Amino acid sequence: MTQNIAFIGLGNMGGPMAKNLIKNDFKVTVYDLNAHVVADLKAAGANTADNAKAAIKDADVIISMLPNGAIVKSLYIGNNGLINEVKDDVLIIDSSTIAADDARAVAKACERKGIAMIDAPVSGGTAAAEAGTLTFICGGEPAHFEAAKLVLSAMGRHIFHAGASGAGQVAKICNNMLLAIHMVGTAEALNMGAQQGLDPKVMSEIMKASSGNNWSLQVYNPFPGVMPNVPSSNDYQGGFMVDLMSKDLGLSQELAAKSKSATPLGAMATQLYQIHQAAGAGGKDFSSILQLFQKK
Amino acid sequence: MTQNIAFIGLGNMGGPMAKNLIKNDFKVTVYDLNAHVVADLKAAGANTADNAKAAIKDADVIISMLPNGAIVKSLYIGNNGLINEVKDDVLIIDSSTIAADDARAVAKACERKGIAMIDAPVSGGTAAAEAGTLTFICGGEPAHFEAAKLVLSAMGRHIFHAGASGAGQVAKICNNMLLAIHMVGTAEALNMGAQQGLDPKVMSEIMKASSGNNWSLQVYNPFPGVMPNVPSSNDYQGGFMVDLMSKDLGLSQELAAKSKSATPLGAMATQLYQIHQAAGAGGKDFSSILQLFQKK
Amino acid sequence: MTQNIAFIGLGNMGGPMAKNLIKNDFKVTVYDLNAHVVADLKAAGANTADNAKAAIKDADVIISMLPNGAIVKSLYIGNNGLINEVKDDVLIIDSSTIAADDARAVAKACERKGIAMIDAPVSGGTAAAEAGTLTFICGGEPAHFEAAKLVLSAMGRHIFHAGASGAGQVAKICNNMLLAIHMVGTAEALNMGAQQGLDPKVMSEIMKASSGNNWSLQVYNPFPGVMPNVPSSNDYQGGFMVDLMSKDLGLSQELAAKSKSATPLGAMATQLYQIHQAAGAGGKDFSSILQLFQKK
Amino acid sequence: MTQNIAFIGLGNMGGPMAKNLIKNDFKVTVYDLNAHVVADLKAAGANTADNAKAAIKDADVIISMLPNGAIVKSLYIGNNGLINEVKDDVLIIDSSTIAADDARAVAKACERKGIAMIDAPVSGGTAAAEAGTLTFICGGEPAHFEAAKLVLSAMGRHIFHAGASGAGQVAKICNNMLLAIHMVGTAEALNMGAQQGLDPKVMSEIMKASSGNNWSLQVYNPFPGVMPNVPSSNDYQGGFMVDLMSKDLGLSQELAAKSKSATPLGAMATQLYQIHQAAGAGGKDFSSILQLFQKK
């Protein structure tokens, strides 16, 4: 029997994710504050609702993709929180990237009411959202994870169970902090080589075949002209914005403070992106950090 | 016709490299200050010589593997430098890891005398030296590089031409700086996840399949017990010592200063290894940087 | 006419502060969860109360000195918050060191009820608290600041008005971040000089007379034996603990994130104290950061 | 009897220093490659010479003020080094800021020939050079230091003996590293306060009276408009250029590497000035580092 899915939050990521659910024959009801994106989803075959409460009526699964933890908490557990309105056997999947403590607060409130909930932030950008090849990194009860997997498979290729509630957010944020670190490091190495007259293309080939190898070198080279079809070769347009990387790094440093974990390179990457942002680069792709090191 | 090769410097790397040349039927004459390692090579089939000058008499190719730039410069271009003693058509291959400027000084002196020389530092540790699977990163004239390749193939699997003289050293040092950065970053991410109760094995799997992926996660995980047969699972014994990584990071910061390149994460990694060293960890494998972050 | 003062929070700082009010002939009623410190204040001439609500009955001024923002918010504006119990013309002075946003939240709630409130965190340690020579850094309405000054003068020597509500907390945290930075910097400089054979006493004299001069060099030298009567000359006992400096640095990084301010040296100092804490130094004076750099 | 002084190197610092010697009735013979500055000194009463060798003939004291260690070594101990030409009882005073090892190399060569030599780098900028209020930080034999003091007093107010040969350079570089650290820290603190709406003037007053106090706050505030007559209030013109601070920080990191000293904040300050330089700020006063943190 087809599951009813309510999808809340139809931004650059949420929109294409909801469309992939429709393509996979789920019955999807959507809600977003922005009437424009709602209309776009309606055209793609979604039912629409005038508000979140109407959207989740009859939902077997609720998926949310929202900009921050305050909005997620207010949606589910605020004064008019949805967890007072849902069906008893609903499964809530929050795919927003938020602080682990916020995810745990929602999960705890759900648990008290016997409602199934997992945090399931994604890795991979808008292209992966469109292609249905996202990675989902989940936290919550194993049984809830197994149930969520059936739905998430329609939108992603890799679906991981990181641990208990909040663990999805922790693993996602650790991953993105590490991404920022090797992106900055790759930019430093390529820039220093170029300053010494080496060809960034040749250097990239050498380091990819050596111990410096990392995801930035493999699929997202920050040096213009080394790879086609990456933001650095398109004036740092598109991709994953500095503003968004800064948000994720902010979450990483909040988590570091809370868990009393030293993350010196994570902290330094956070600062460098802050400096880059202050210089006006917030809207560029995050691989543009190379420009901070280049002679003007 | 078999080439005569002189091999100078038979340490942990040089020894097994020379043996691989012998196995590949080169005629090898060796020299080292340490009589013990010379005897070992003799047993393996090498000719021996009482000093460097004697070793390079008749050599078609000279290979050196020495601890620092001062020694390399003194060997070749000092008051009694070998470049005054070599055959006209000799090829000099220096595989030591030294400052690019030192490599360039030797290359320039060779050029003035019409002698062929390339810098060819290696990536990969003692295991790769023994297995003949090293990576050579070379700088120098294309024709000299092609000639060197025939010999280097007996000791390595990947042989790269990074550019003009010194470029081998530049690319090697950039690579190792990037290695240090993603190793420290990987340690930070795994430690923070563990502090939040996540299983480092699970986290490693997730980040390997995501944008945090890098060489440290793939083949050299710093968290004890995640991977078999890596130093972290053997009390950080063996592998690549903190003292050696500190030396390479020192070279990277020298190069950064000389080329006026900002390398903030490289600088911070250098400092963290310095603190780790001051705490007495110089003899441990460099992945032990994780211990700097762990609660005592 | 003598003012009635309620004093809540009698820790290492709050206790001696309350005693100085008594010495200056204020009528002081105290409350703390710890019966032991309450008894101590009673012996010094304070009235005591069984709970906060009882303590503030009839109070013209309420002073609080508490460990964190959650406790401060809960005391004043929680479900049973004191602002529903106070006299209309009361003046609330919170001397706790907490996030500026927490201070602003309390101030805003007070403002809505027409209650006068200022944030007034202190600079100076327990010795200054006992001697009545603290520095108070205040935020709030000018008129409220002037009123508070009369009371604060009994406990401190310098009383500053930093700006609107929360500004006291901002200035305090900026100051302590800068303190941490020049303390770490001073430790780095003295250690490097000592490694080169210079006498830390001589170096300290030189830098105090030169452009390196700062408060750490002047009154709180981190190198053992340079100054008498400072923690470094007493095995880093007493003074301002690493744990407390870490708390303040945590607040600085929270503020930096909220205000989108780059603070790279502040971030790095935060990380170094985190590493120092992980190594077990949380209970030592904060000038012990020198030990992180010294050879073991 | 009046001493004959040879002064070599008449740049922004050397020129006014030589003039102060003349004003104090020393007989001064000068040399510089730049004929323009030589003419200026001639007008001020100096004898001139066509080359260094001619300048030092008959000199009782030689003072040099040169841009880097290579030039200093070449002047004194190169193939045509002056130490082969000087009078037996000459006193050499090198006031250049150079690596301690370079200073030691010159001192060692002097010692072998029985020539007195001290390193005596200065603290204080061109204004102090003109006013004769420089600080000299000296390394060398106590007797040589005492002899030098008589001459240096004509150019400076504070004259310190830091220790053996090279110690003057070590102390100078440690001081300037610490200066860079508290300048960057002061800029971070003032910028964060300003971002929160505080008045930088008020904040500066508060921190000067508190534990954040340091030389930058006292006499060289980096925030425009807080102090009159400092570079920040004059569009960062004049003062001590970013390029020169970068040079000194480079020397500090060389020294840190050589002495195996961790200087994490020193390293980070070095990187920030490198980034600032790459953005084109090399010619501004070093307090302009504030601009790196300000929103564009």
Give the best residue of A192, A265, A276, A292 to mutate against chain D (max D CB count within 10 A). A292
Chain D positions touching C181 (Cβ under 8 A) are 181-182, 184-185, 188, 265
State the chains in contact with B (3 or more Cβ–Cβ pairs under 8 Å). A, C, D
pLDDT for res C2: 79
Candidates A213, A205, A160; CA nearest to A185 is A213
Q: Do domains A4-164 and A170-293 have the same CATH topology?
A: no
Give the best residue of C246, C271, C273, C276 to mutate against chain B (max B CB count within 10 A). C271
- Among candidates B254, B256, B278 on the partner chain, residue whose Cβ is nearest the Cβ of D262: B278
State residue A88 phi and psi, 5-degree precision.
-60, -35
Alpha carbon of C136: minimum distance to chain D alpha carbons (Å):
9
Query: What region, left, alpha or beta, does residue B93 occupy, with left being phi > 0 and alpha being psi -120 to 50 degrees?
Result: beta
CA separation for the pair C184, B219 (Å, rounded): 36
Chain A positions touching B135 (Cβ under 8 A) are 206, 209-210
User: Of these residues, C27, C73, C113, C172, which one is catalytic?
Assistant: C172
Q: What is the ipTM of this complex?
A: 0.95
Other C-beta atoms closer than 10 Å to the C-beta of B1 total 4
CB contact (8 A) between residue A293 and residue D279: no
Alpha carbon of A173: minimum distance to chain B alpha carbons (Å):
9
Alpha carbon of A190: minimum distance to chain D alpha carbons (Å):
16
- Among candidates A268, A293, A296 on the partner chain, residue whose Cβ is nearest the Cβ of D280: A296
CA separation for the pair A161, A159 (Å, rounded): 7
Chain D positions touching A270 (Cβ under 8 A) are none
Alpha carbon of B278: minimum distance to chain C alpha carbons (Å):
4
CB contact (8 A) between residue D294 and residue A275: no
Give tens-digit pLDDT for A256-291: 999 999 999 999 999 999 999 999 999 999 999 999
Quick one: DSSP state of residue B2?
P
Does residue C126 or residue C107 have the better pLDDT?
Answer: C107
As a whole-number percent, the residues of chain A with pLDDT over 90 amount to 96
CA separation for the pair C167, C156 (Å, rounded): 19
pLDDT for res D231: 96
CB contact (8 A) between residue B294 and residue C278: yes
CB contact (8 A) between residue A199 and residue B175: no
Task: Write the CB contacts of B113 (distance below 8 Å, at least 6 apart in sequence).
Answer: B83
CB pairs under 8 A between B and C: 21
CB contact (8 A) between residue D254 and residue B250: no
Chain A positions touching C261 (Cβ under 8 A) are 274
CA separation for the pair D211, D189 (Å, rounded): 13
Chain A positions touching C292 (Cβ under 8 A) are none
* Strand locations in A9-155 (E): 27-31, 47-48, 61-64, 91-94, 116-119, 122-123, 134-139
Q: How far is CA B184 from CA B222, B293, C264, in A?
A: 9, 10, 18
Rounded to the nearest 5 degrees, what angle is found at the Cα of B51, between the Cα atoms of B45 and B53?
105
* Cβ–Cβ < 8 Å for B92, B73: no
- Is the domain spanning D4-164 CATH 2.40.30.10? The answer is no
CB contact (8 A) between residue C292 and residue B280: no
CB contact (8 A) between residue A193 and residue B174: yes
Does residue C88 or residue B2 have the better pLDDT?
Answer: C88
Instruction: Give the bridge partners for A159, in sequence order.
Output: A136
pLDDT for res D185: 98
CA separation for the pair D135, D162 (Å, rounded): 12
Chain B positions touching D261 (Cβ under 8 A) are 274
CB contact (8 A) between residue C257 and residue A254: yes
Among A174-183, B123-132, C250-259, where is mean pLDDT lowest?
A: B123-132
* Cβ–Cβ < 8 Å for B17, B129: yes
Alpha carbon of C254: minimum distance to chain B alpha carbons (Å):
18
| Residues in chain B, total | 296
Alpha carbon of D36: minimum distance to chain C alpha carbons (Å):
32
On the question of pLDDT at A194 being above 90, the answer is yes
Chain A positions touching C278 (Cβ under 8 A) are 260, 262
CB contact (8 A) between residue D185 and residue C190: no
Candidates C196, C236, C243; CA nearest to C220 is C236
pLDDT for res D58: 94
Exposed, middle or buried: residue D202 (CB in 10 Å: 0-12, 13-18, 19+)?
A: middle
Instruction: Give the bridge partners for D139, in sequence order.
Output: D119, D163
CB contact (8 A) between residue D100 and residue C196: yes
Candidates D239, D251, D261; CA nearest to D169 is D251
Other C-beta atoms closer than 10 Å to the C-beta of D78 total 13
Task: Write the CB contacts of D78 (distance below 8 Å, at least 6 apart in sequence).
Answer: none
Fold of B4-165: Rossmann fold (3.40.50)
Q: At what angle do helices A167-195 and A100-112 cross, to 10 degrees?
A: 170
How far is the first Cα of chain D from the last one, in angstroms, to the nearest whole number?
61
Give tens-digit pLDDT for A227-244: 999 999 999 998 999 999
User: Of these residues, A23, A172, A258, A295, which one is catalytic?
Assistant: A172
Question: Chain A residue with minimal CA distance to C282?
Answer: A260
CB contact (8 A) between residue C198 and residue D167: yes
CA separation for the pair D56, D49 (Å, rounded): 9
Give the best residue of C104, C192, C201 to mutate against chain D (max D CB count within 10 A). C192
CB contact (8 A) between residue B294 and residue C280: no
CB contact (8 A) between residue D253 and residue B250: no
pLDDT for res B124: 86
- Among candidates A268, A278, A294 on the partner chain, residue whose Cβ is nearest the Cβ of D278: A294
| Alpha-carbon torsion, ordered A230, A235, A236, A239, to 10 deg | -50
Catalytic residues of B: 172
User: Of these residues, D19, D42, D57, D172, which one is catalytic?
Assistant: D172
Chain A positions touching C101 (Cβ under 8 A) are none
Alpha carbon of A66: minimum distance to chain D alpha carbons (Å):
28
Token pair in block for residue B284: 């441990």
CA contacts within 13 A on the Cβ side of A203: 31
Which class does domain C170-293 fall in? Answer: mainly alpha
- Among candidates C205, C212, C261 on the partner chain, residue whose Cβ is nearest the Cβ of D195: C261
On the question of pLDDT at A186 being above 80, the answer is yes
On the question of pLDDT at D1 being above 80, the answer is no
CB contact (8 A) between residue B274 and residue D268: no
Alpha carbon of B176: minimum distance to chain D alpha carbons (Å):
17
As a whole-number percent, the residues of chain D with pLDDT over 70 amount to 100
| Alpha-carbon torsion, ordered D70, D75, D78, D82, to 10 deg | -160
Task: Write the CB contacts of C111 (distance below 8 Å, at least 6 apart in sequence).
Answer: C117, C165
CA separation for the pair D134, D136 (Å, rounded): 6
Candidates D113, D177, D103, D191; CA nearest to D140 is D103
- Among candidates D174, D198, D265 on the partner chain, residue whose Cβ is nearest the Cβ of C203: D174
- Among candidates A178, A212, A295 on the partner chain, residue whose Cβ is nearest the Cβ of B189: A178
* Cβ–Cβ < 8 Å for B191, B226: no
Give the best residue of C177, C271, C276 to mutate against chain A (max A CB count within 10 A). C271
Chain C positions touching A247 (Cβ under 8 A) are none
Give me the mean pLDDT over the C10-29 stretch: 97
pLDDT for res C115: 97
Q: Residue A172 catalytic?
A: yes
Give me the mean pLDDT over the A184-192 stretch: 98
Give tens-digit pLDDT for A86-107: 999 999 999 999 999 999 999 9
Q: pLDDT tens string for chain B (296 positions)? A: 679 999 999 999 999 999 999 999 999 999 999 999 999 999 999 999 999 999 999 999 999 999 999 999 999 998 889 999 999 999 999 999 999 999 999 999 999 999 999 999 999 888 899 999 999 999 999 999 999 999 999 999 999 999 999 999 999 999 999 999 999 999 999 999 999 999 999 999 999 999 999 999 999 999 999 999 999 999 999 899 999 999 999 999 999 999 999 999 999 999 999 999 999 999 999 999 999 999 98
Candidates C190, D276, B181; CA nearest to A264 is B181
Task: Write the CB contacts of C28 (distance below 8 Å, at least 6 apart in sequence).
Answer: C5, C6, C7, C18, C21, C22, C41, C45, C46, C47
Domain boundaries, chain B: 4-165, 170-293
Q: How far is CA B205 from CA A139, A214, A219, B216, D21, in A?
A: 15, 15, 19, 12, 72
CA separation for the pair C64, C118 (Å, rounded): 11
